[in-house]
Chains A and B, each alone.
Chain A
Amino acid sequence: MAQVEGWVRVMPDAEVEEGTIYGFEVDGEERILTRVEGHLCALDGICTHEFAELVEGEVEDDVLWCPLHGSGFNVHTGAASNLPATTPLATYDVRVDGGEVYVAQAPREQD
């Protein structure tokens, strides 16, 4: 299966469990993938408040919680929903092709 320009293959769709956070890297940058109510969500892997790896965090409903200081981010939009973070987290388009999850290399435009 060929890599597609601008997209990164992460893992088989069938292996992405609801509410579990999976870490992966793109050009040395940490990203995360999770599934919330069936939807696949990809975001930056480092908290915008202080350095913390979000793969160590938790997903509850549609909020991604930072393991360090408890900042919350909306898994769909990346919006900072709970202090102390105030800066949104970058989000990435996700698509499934041939049973594999692909995540866009470039972030979505922020609101």
Chain B
Amino acid sequence: MTPRQRCVILGAGVGGHFAVQALREAGYDGEATLVGAEGVRPYDRPPLSKAFLQGAKTADGLFFKPPEFYRELDVELRLEAPVERVDIESHRLVLSGGGSMPFDTLLIVTGASPIRLRQPGFDLPGVRYLRSLADAEALRADLQRAGRVLVVGAGFIGSEVTASARALGREVTLVDLLEAPMVRAIGDELGRRYAELHRSHGVDLRLGASVVELRGDGHVEEAVLADGESLACDLVVVGVGVRPETSVVAGTPVAVGRGILVDEHGATNVPGVYAAGDVAEWVHPALGRRLLVEHFDNAGMQAASAARAVAGQPESYAPVPSFWSDQYDTTLQYYGYPIPWDAVVLRGDLDGFPVTAFYLAEGRVIAAAMVNRPREHRAARRLIAAGAAVDPDALADPATDLRALARGLPGE
């Protein structure tokens, strides 16, 4: 009798959760181990910057499933096992605390880590980043007693934390180097509306500005901007983007670009080693371009897809990526590819919300961002999935029935 195969899933976030579930559903009958470093089983990360920070959700309410779920799947949980590196030759994970763990197949879903700022003073107490539950618990406690909050970076995390801090009644200054919040992802047209949204909720928004130094005696007390202005603050939250957590394969034959390079099945260039989610970069089969998507849905779906490949059921992973962001009384729902666009078509309110922005490249719809316009989600998604060439005037015209435009186009 041959020994059972062993699949190790490295990373106990959303990707790890959906990977082990998909692995078993696809009939994998070897041993399966889910390895994490945070000491807790997989939980839902998106609420950390929103409902959890605002006190509307507890930590217990964040876990996807109870421990029994994993037991019933016959999945071993190793949740306090930080991994230093992957040893490809011996097919083992080298653990940071000493020791190692063998694998036959490895699925890397280590996600991404916040980019740390190195300017003077960013090592002071009172400076927070937000990625993990532990980060969120610390930040939530700080927010309860903060007087004046400074948020550095108006991307999704910085914008959501700002909205949460305002919901808690804190004074907030939000600083970003660029001309509008979330501008890289959603463009200037929508970004400017979010700038207005923050301001209308009492946020001191500083665009085109940067923090060059933090000062304080044993704790952060003030921030110095590039123009020399000094802002008082006793809590600083930094959200300036993330880096794919590829360090475990540094120095190995596993090919890395921005993320770990994988094919449409999640396979790396090294046999038996797979990667998915925020850490993985793959060529989207329908698009013919390399993508790295740093959002919840992709982390879960790509990990599940890669797990099915491990179980012998490979499929071509070609999603229309999607994400959402809730801030104040708005919900942004986005479908589409994170690639450059050359035109934006707006539909809806001329100045504020609700509005839909369509992003076009060479006349084709590549993405859509809908703020408080739920009835356009599915039609927009269809236009994107089909790469439809649509007359921009028709798209912008409120009299145009989007569903009629999308009718007859392939849905998936």
Interface residues, chain A, CB within 8 Å of chain B?
50, 56-58, 60-61, 65, 67-70, 82-84, 86
Q: Does B324 contact A (CB under 8 A)?
A: yes
Q: Does B300 contact A (CB under 8 A)?
A: yes
Report Cα–Cα, A84/B301, bound state, in Å: 10
Tell me whether A65 and B331 are in contact (CB under 8 A): no
Which residue of B46, B333, B374 has the most chain A CB atoms within 10 A of its CB atom? B374
Tell me whether B297 and A84 are in contact (CB under 8 A): yes
14 intermolecular pairs with C-beta atoms under 8 Å apart: A56-B374, A58-B375, A60-B411, A61-B411, A67-B374, A68-B374, A69-B333, A70-B324, A70-B333, A70-B335, A83-B296, A83-B301, A84-B46, A84-B297
Other 18 A-B pairs with CB < 8 A, given A56-B374, A57-B374, A70-B322: A56-B375, A58-B374, A58-B375, A61-B411, A67-B374, A67-B377, A68-B331, A68-B333, A68-B374, A69-B331, A69-B333, A70-B333, A70-B335, A83-B296, A83-B301, A84-B46, A84-B296, A84-B297
In the complex, residue of chain A having the shortest beta-carbon distance to the beta carbon of B299? A83
Q: Does B341 contact A (CB under 8 A)?
A: no
Within the complex, the shortest CB–CB distance from B353 to chain A, in Å, comes to 15
Q: Does B199 contact A (CB under 8 A)?
A: no
With a cutoff of 8 Å between Cβ atoms, the chain A residues found around residue B300 in the complex are 83
Report Cα–Cα, A13/B56, bound state, in Å: 40
With a cutoff of 8 Å between Cβ atoms, the chain A residues found around residue B374 in the complex are 56-58, 67-68
With a cutoff of 8 Å between Cβ atoms, the chain B residues found around residue A67 in the complex are 374-375, 377
Q: Does B64 contact A (CB under 8 A)?
A: yes
Decide yes or no: A83 and B378 within 8 Å by CB, A60-B411, A69-B331, A70-B322 being known contacts: no
Interface residues, chain B, CB within 8 Å of chain A?
44, 46, 51, 64, 296-297, 300-301, 322, 324, 331, 333, 335, 374-375, 377-378, 411
Report Cα–Cα, A83/B331, bound state, in Å: 16
How many A-B Cβ pairs are below 8 Å?
39
Report Cα–Cα, A68/B64, bound state, in Å: 19
With a cutoff of 8 Å between Cβ atoms, the chain B residues found around residue A60 in the complex are 378, 411
Tell me whether A65 and B377 are in contact (CB under 8 A): yes
Decide yes or no: A83 and B297 within 8 Å by CB, A60-B411, A61-B411, A70-B333 being known contacts: yes
Report Cα–Cα, A82/B411, bound state, in Å: 14
Helix, strand, loop or mixed for chain A's interface? loop
Report Cα–Cα, A50/B296, bound state, in Å: 15
Report Cα–Cα, A69/B296, bound state, in Å: 11
Report Cα–Cα, A70/B322, bound state, in Å: 9
Report Cα–Cα, A70/B301, bound state, in Å: 14
The 10 A-B residue pairs with the shortest CB-CB distance in the complex, in nearest-first order: A67-B374, A83-B297, A69-B324, A58-B378, A60-B378, A83-B300, A56-B374, A70-B333, A68-B331, A65-B378
Report Cα–Cα, A54/B300, bound state, in Å: 23
Report Cα–Cα, A105/B144, bound state, in Å: 43
With a cutoff of 8 Å between Cβ atoms, the chain B residues found around residue A82 in the complex are 297
Within the complex, the shortest CB–CB distance from A66 to chain B, in Å, comes to 8
Report Cα–Cα, A61/B377, bound state, in Å: 15
In the complex, residue of chain A having the shortest beta-carbon distance to the beta carbon of B47? A50
Tell me whether A58 and B377 are in contact (CB under 8 A): yes
With a cutoff of 8 Å between Cβ atoms, the chain B residues found around residue A57 in the complex are 374
Report Cα–Cα, A86/B331, bound state, in Å: 20
Report Cα–Cα, A58/B322, bound state, in Å: 17
Report Cα–Cα, A91/B301, bound state, in Å: 25
Within the complex, the shortest CB–CB distance from B140 to chain A, in Å, comes to 18
Within the complex, the shortest CB–CB distance from B278 to chain A, in Å, comes to 14
Within the complex, the shortest CB–CB distance from A30 to chain B, in Å, comes to 16
Report Cα–Cα, A46/B331, bound state, in Å: 17
In the complex, residue of chain B having the shortest beta-carbon distance to the beta carbon of A58? B378
Report Cα–Cα, A65/B331, bound state, in Å: 15
Within the complex, the shortest CB–CB distance from B383 to chain A, in Å, comes to 13
With a cutoff of 8 Å between Cβ atoms, the chain B residues found around residue A56 in the complex are 374-375
With a cutoff of 8 Å between Cβ atoms, the chain A residues found around residue B297 in the complex are 82-84
With a cutoff of 8 Å between Cβ atoms, the chain A residues found around residue B301 in the complex are 83
Within the complex, the shortest CB–CB distance from A61 to chain B, in Å, comes to 7
Report Cα–Cα, A70/B297, bound state, in Å: 10
Tell me whether B64 and A86 are in contact (CB under 8 A): yes
Report Cα–Cα, A83/B45, bound state, in Å: 13
Within the complex, the shortest CB–CB distance from A76 to chain B, in Å, comes to 17
In the complex, residue of chain A having the shortest beta-carbon distance to the beta carbon of B57? A50
With a cutoff of 8 Å between Cβ atoms, the chain B residues found around residue A83 in the complex are 296-297, 300-301
In the complex, residue of chain B having the shortest beta-carbon distance to the beta carbon of A50? B51
